[in-house]
Structure 1
Amino acid sequence: MLSQSVYTLANQQNGNLAFKLFEFDNNSYFDHMQRNNYFTLILITSGEGHAKVDLCDYAFKENTLFAFYPYQPFMLYSPKPLMGISIQFHHDFFCIYRHQKEIAANGILFNNIYEQPFIHLNESCKSNILNLIQGITSELKSEGFRKDEVLVSYLKILLVMATRIKLDQQSVQNEGERNAKQQFIIQSLKNAIENNFRIKHSASDYADMLNQTPTSLARITKNHFNKTLSDLITERIIIEAKRELYLTDKTIKEIAYELGYEDEYYFSRVFKIKTDISPQVYRNTIGFNKG
Structure 2
Amino acid sequence: MELSENEDALQLEMLQMLLKRLLILCTRIFKNHKNFSALDQPHSDLIREYNFLVEKHFKTKKSVAEYADLLNKSPKTVANLFSKPGAKSPLSYIHDRTMLEARRLLGYTDKSIKEIGYVLGFEDIQAFSRFFKKTKEFLPQNSRNL
TM-score (norm 2): 0.77
In structure 1, distance between residues paired with 2:35 and 2:45:
10
In structure 2, distance between residues paired with 1:175 and 1:272:
33
Is residue 85 of structure 2 the alignment partner of residue 220 of structure 1?
no
In structure 2, distance between residues paired with 1:251 and 1:168:
39
In structure 2, distance between residues paired with 1:164 and 1:191:
16
Count the aligned residue pairs: 130
Aligned to 1:169: 29
Distance 1:184 1:270, change over 3 A: same
Where do 4+ consecutive residues of structure 1 move more than 3 Å?
101-104, 170-175
Aligned to 1:192: 53
TM-score (norm 1): 0.40
- Structure 1 or 2, whichever has the larger Rg, is 1
Contact 1:177 1:183 in 2 (8 A): no
Aligned to 2:3: none
Distance 1:220 1:250, change over 3 A: same
SS at match of 1:176: helix
CA RMSD of aligned residues (A): 2.7
Describe how 1:128-277 pairs up with structure 2 within 5 A: 165-170=25-30, 176-224=37-85, 226-277=87-138
Q: Which amino acid aligns with 1:203?
A: V
In structure 2, distance between residues paired with 1:187 and 1:174:
16
Distance 1:247 1:211, change over 3 A: same
In structure 2, distance between residues paired with 1:258 and 1:224:
32
Please state how far the C-alpha of 1:165 moved relative to its aligned partner: 4.5
Q: Which amino acid aligns with 1:197?
A: F
In structure 1, distance between residues paired with 2:78 and 2:108:
34
- Which of 137, 140, 143 matches 1:279? 140
SS at match of 2:62: coil
Q: Which amino acid aligns with 1:270?
A: F
**Percent identical:** 31
Higher helix share goes to which structure?
A: 2
In structure 2, distance between residues paired with 1:243 and 1:184:
28
Contact 2:36 2:85 in 1 (8 A): no
Please state how far the C-alpha of 1:177 moved relative to its aligned partner: 4.8
